[in-house]
Structure 1
């Protein structure tokens, strides 16, 4: 477990889990939202993102949390030795996004890019959640399970599995 990709729907707990993994393993954490977005919340130029992403993938170890552009996601899945797909029920993800918004009115959410609007990000998360079934579907699960022939693949489907993941699989 040296190159770990953590991914899933918005509001699934990726940032929280990734931070815990980094703390326990000592592996550098890269939160994609901090690479995709500038401090003012605007997206960085694609070339700058691709360069930063490739530099991370080329390093000896990393934890990358997030999705990002599709081709970078696919490159990350190939480069990683460990894949952690957080596949909580949609209702749970909607609740976590809403809870992040409410908490974000007081404290910047975990993994949130500096200067980005929590309200704007929440609305975008709701929009992405509506589109998720087109991507996070049976075909994706089949492709992910195929990767388990050459990689360690974890599929986290409940909040209790999410909360216990680091304890059960790393410590």
Structure 2
């Protein structure tokens, strides 16, 4: 395990475990949101997004966190492992609510000056509310990665399904100490 794609719903623990996995493997950690979301939450042009992600994937080792279909082919063509977070919806929503509240209350900068705002907690538009987004996408991601894990096109990849915190702990234990 040297080139790892970490995927799953927002709030499932991808970033937390992805960072720890990168440390254990001694490889860089890359959060796709930090590349895609430019100042003012403006999306990066697809051509430039693909170029930047392609540059990341040329390295010998990395952990890349994110679900972007626009670059999945680039990442998975070089990856050896896909870590798929598939926690129960109630767990994801609870974790995401607390994370969003913490970020909103502290004003923590996410990427490129962007911050989450508490007013979006009540927004019903999935494009504006991370909670609505995660609720709407939960089954989509489950179906997407379950299907991909059985797709012969991705047979060279090892899919690791993380369905609990215990699964995440075991994954990190298998990765071992930093090399």
Which TM-score bucket, shorter chain as reference?
Answer: 0.7 to 0.9
Q: Distance in 2 between matches of 1:6 and 1:103?
A: 23
Query: Structure 1, residues 24-63: CA drift from partner, whole Å, max 9, x if none?
Result: 1110111111100124332222222111011112222211
Question: What SS does the corresponding residue of 2:40 show, helix, strand or coil?
Answer: coil
Please tell me the root mean square deviation across aligned C-alpha atoms, in Å. 2.4
Map of 2:47 onto structure 1: 47
Question: What SS does the corresponding residue of 1:135 show, helix, strand or coil?
Answer: helix
* 2:69 is the alignment partner of 1:63: no
Query: Structure 1, residues 59-113: CA drift from partner, whole Å, max 9, x if none?
Result: 2221101112x1312332232101100101111111111110122122638xx32
- Count of aligned residue pairs for this structure pair: 168
The answer to whether the 8 Å contact 2:4/2:80 transfers is yes
Q: Distance in 1 between matches of 2:144 and 2:81?
A: 20
Map of 2:131 onto structure 1: 126
* 2:116 is the alignment partner of 1:115: no
Q: TM-score, normalized by length of structure 2?
A: 0.81
Structure 1 segments (4+ residues) deviating >4 Å: 120-123
Map of 2:124 onto structure 1: none
Q: Distance in 2 between matches of 1:107 and 1:10?
A: 19
| Long gaps (5+) in structure 2 | 122-127
